[in-house]
Structure 1
């Protein structure tokens, strides 16, 4: 059985400020995020990992490097372009409150009704496009793995939610049914048939984080 541990990157300055980062905005990790990544590593340390795959964006690469260091394990890190965050076009860099005023229908669909989301006006990426590229990346990763491998995947909140729910065969309209994922959280999936189907072990596990979570931690 191949096990995937899907990690959302550590919290960034723009996460704290309530700004959309998307595929091009890439603010630094907060100093406190390094503590949270260490807590994540302490939780995961009993597991032997075989490989880590990361989005190319700086916030995920920095999370990946820090996590590997804190785990104290020797495994390869591979950058996978297709694991990057949603391209949110004109919304990137804007505060959530600004977007809600300027593009109310678009942001409502993005957060609550994925099947109705049309990013044409903001020159962004659709859920279908994100799901296609991320699930293809997972398919490639799983097919390259050994049957009992434990694999870390470091990516982004919105893209991960869409990707994971698609892997679980969730209809697009229900992609948001389990909520979002939190910075430095882990969601665990298994497959015993090289990715033909997946089983959800745990969604958005944050029990190991010592801080009190806030609304800016989860998307």
Structure 2
């Protein structure tokens, strides 16, 4: 069974400040995030990975490159890494860079629907990307990966973003659009594992939002 390990990027300054980042907004990883990526590398080091696919957005690229470096030191070989543009975060338009509290005041409907009602979320006012648009964008990359890596022992790392991964993973599991948020959010530097035994036609969930390797207790600013 091919296993896909979905990693959310390390915690950033804007995560800490409660700001939307999105596909175009960005901020640096916190100093402690590098320690948490190293802890993730130790957690993953017993596993042989065939490839790593990484979002082009800087916070994800830095997470992926750091993870690749740390695992190279632990395992003695570099995991091949590909930047995959379709793995970028939601385009959140006018909300990017804004604090959650300010978005809630200025765009209350969009704020609530994005978090709680994906099937009602209409991003036209904020000039953003809808859930169906994001799913249509990201899914072909997963299908391509599972078409390439068909061996039962293949393990693939995918480094991306909290909201995007939440929508993508739940869709791969067959979850309806209105229920995409039912499993809760994904924490920074978390690991979610899916497996497929039919070349990506169906998936089963092995782990959701695992942060057991991180010493501190994740708080509300880690989750999206």
TM-score by length of 1: 0.99
Structure 2 gaps, min length 5:
none
One of 165, 171, 177 as aligned partner of 2:170: 165
SS at match of 1:97: helix
Larger mean Cα displacement after TM superposition, 141-150 or 193-202: 141-150
Aligned runs of 1:120-135 on 2, under 5 Å?
120-135=124-139
Corresponding position: 1:149 with 2:157:
no
Structure 1 gaps, min length 5:
none
Distance 1:77 1:129 in 2: 26
Aligned runs of 1:56-67 on 2, under 5 Å?
56-67=56-67
Corresponding position: 1:68 with 2:73:
no
Corresponding position: 1:195 with 2:195:
no
Distance 1:142 1:106 in 2: 34
TM-score by length of 2: 0.96
In the other structure, the counterpart of 2:7 is: 7
Compute the displacement of 1:214 (Å).
Answer: 1.0
Asked whether the equivalents of residues 150 and 199 of structure 2 are also in contact (C-alpha less than 8 Å), the reply is no
One of 173, 181, 185 as aligned partner of 1:180: 185
Asked whether the equivalents of residues 51 and 81 of structure 2 are also in contact (C-alpha less than 8 Å), the reply is yes
In the other structure, the counterpart of 1:23 is: 23
SS at match of 2:119: helix
One of 123, 126, 129 as aligned partner of 1:119: 123
The count of aligned residue pairs is 219
In the other structure, the counterpart of 2:220 is: 215
SS at match of 1:119: coil
Corresponding position: 1:34 with 2:29:
no
Aligned runs of 1:68-107 on 2, under 5 Å?
68-72=68-72, 73-107=77-111
Distance 1:37 1:144 in 2: 27
Q: Report runs of 4+ in structure 1 exceeding 6 Å deviation.
A: none
Compute the displacement of 1:146 (Å).
Answer: 3.5
Kindly report the root-mean-square deviation, in angstroms, between the aligned alpha carbons of the 2 structures: 0.7
Distance 1:105 1:171 in 2: 21
For 1:131-171, what per-residue CA distance to the aligned partner results, in whole angstroms no more than 9, with x for missing partners? 11111111011111141210000000000000000000000
In the other structure, the counterpart of 2:49 is: 49
